[in-house]
């Protein structure tokens, strides 16, 4: 008979000393199954489609799609996240960020045109890649997939229109200020100041505002020298929120 407290450690011990089964990560196919575009598919149709896709790993910083290339594959992000950008006169214009469960590349697959933007990996990850004929056949056979793709394209058009309107209506400096205003914390500090607690880098802010790093540096310098803001560790404290709003929108 064992003593009540033998002092021996219990590996993987759960309640009452019962062994707890190790947790396992879902497989790439399981994550692919719940992709936003495919989640309503019949199991048989999904597995036939997945079996014909290619699963590709990528690393942070990789270029998955090059703007202007003739590639017409459709990518389904299984793990990780990517960013869709377009280079315009040396300025990276960010269109969207695609995370796990999202997809991209349907425009080139539909019209057979060159890629209109580049896609960069923001982290390590995995994507399932469907060749153009495979993707188009899925759309033709599954109406709900076609509807989802049309809804996605409508969102792209609206987002692009908003981006064009913003770029044409505000200067690069003003767009930096508008992005900072979007990132201000919901509540002020006890001193009554507002804070951007998760301050992005110059590279990140230039991409978000569709402008150059030099413009970002100039915009921040104007805020600091004008006593509109002051720097902290990984944050920006806004001393005069009303003035920042005026600087962001005044023509």
Q: Which CATH architecture has domain 172-249?
A: Orthogonal Bundle (1.10)
pTM exceeds cut of 0.85:
no
pLDDT in tens, 145-199: 999 999 988 887 887 777 666 667 888 899 899 999 999 998 888 778 899 998 9
Which of 18-27, 107-116, 221-230, 236-245 has the weakest average pLDDT? 18-27
Q: What is the mean pLDDT of residues 40-65?
A: 95
SS3 of 82, please?
strand
Instruction: Mean pLDDT check: name the lowest of 26-30, 119-123, 157-161, 180-184.
Output: 157-161
pLDDT for position 8:
42
pLDDT given at position 204:
82
pLDDT exceeds cutoff 70 at 7: no
* 97-126 average pLDDT score: 91
pLDDT interval class at 10 (50, 70, 90): very low
Residue 44 or 71, more confident: 44
Element (H or E) spanning 8, and its range? none
How confident is the prediction for the chain on average, in pLDDT? Answer: 85
Model confidence band, residue 22 (pLDDT cutoffs 50, 70, 90): low
- Backbone dihedral angles phi then psi of residue 161, each to the nearest 5 degrees: -65, -45
Mean pLDDT of 35-53: 95
Counting Cα atoms < 13 Å in the Cβ hemisphere of 4 gives: 0
Each domain of the chain, given as residue ranges in start order, spans 28-169, 172-249
Sheet with 91-98: list strands edge to edge. Answer: 63-65, 118-121, 82-88, 91-98
Choose which CATH entry (2.30.40.10, 3.40.190.290, 3.40.50.300, 2.60.120.10) describes domain 28-169: 2.60.120.10
pLDDT at 4 over 60: no
> Angle at the Cα of 35 (from 160 to 100), degrees rounded to 5?
65
Q: Which residues pair with 42 in a beta bridge?
A: none
Q: Cα separation of 83 and 91, whole Å?
A: 15
The one-character DSSP state at 15 is: G
Structure tokens at 183: 């990132």
Alpha helices in the chain (DSSP H): 28-33, 43-51, 106-111, 132-141, 143-169, 172-183, 202-208, 213-225, 241-249
Q: What is the pLDDT of residue 3?
A: 41
3-state helix, strand, coil in the chain (%, to 5): 40, 20, 40
Q: Which residue has the higher pLDDT, 70 or 94?
A: 70
């Amino acid at each position: 008979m064992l003593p009540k407290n033998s002092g021996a450690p219990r590996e993987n011990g759960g309640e009452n000393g019962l062994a707890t089964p190790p947790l396992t990560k879902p497989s790439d196919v399981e994550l692919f199954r719940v992709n936003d575009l495919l989640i309503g598919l019949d199991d048989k149709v999904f597995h036939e489609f997945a079996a014909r896709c290619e699963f590709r790993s990528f690393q942070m910083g990789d270029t998955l799609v090059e703007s202007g290339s003739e590639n017409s594959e459709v990518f389904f992000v299984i793990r990780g996240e990517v960013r869709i950008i377009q280079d315009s006169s040396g300025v990276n214009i960010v269109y969207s960020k695609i995370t796990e469960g999202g997809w991209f590349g349907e425009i080139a697959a539909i019209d057979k045109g060159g890629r209109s933007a580049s896609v960069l990996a923001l982290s390590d990850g995995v994507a399932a890649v469907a060749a153009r004929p495979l993707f188009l056949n899925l759309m033709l056979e599954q109406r709900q997939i076609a509807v989802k793709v049309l809804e996605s394209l409508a969102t792209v058009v609206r987002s692009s229109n908003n981006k064009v309107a913003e770029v044409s209506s505000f200067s690069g400096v003003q767009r930096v200020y508008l992005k900072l205003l979007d990132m201000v914390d919901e509540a002020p500090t006890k001193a009554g100041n507002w804070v951007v607690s998760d301050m992005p880098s110059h590279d990140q802010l230039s991409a978000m505002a569709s402008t150059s790093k030099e413009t970002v540096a100039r915009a921040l310098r104007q805020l600091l020298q004008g006593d509109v803001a002051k720097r902290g560790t990984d944050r920006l404290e806004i001393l005069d929120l009303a003035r920042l709003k005026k600087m962001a929108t005044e023509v």
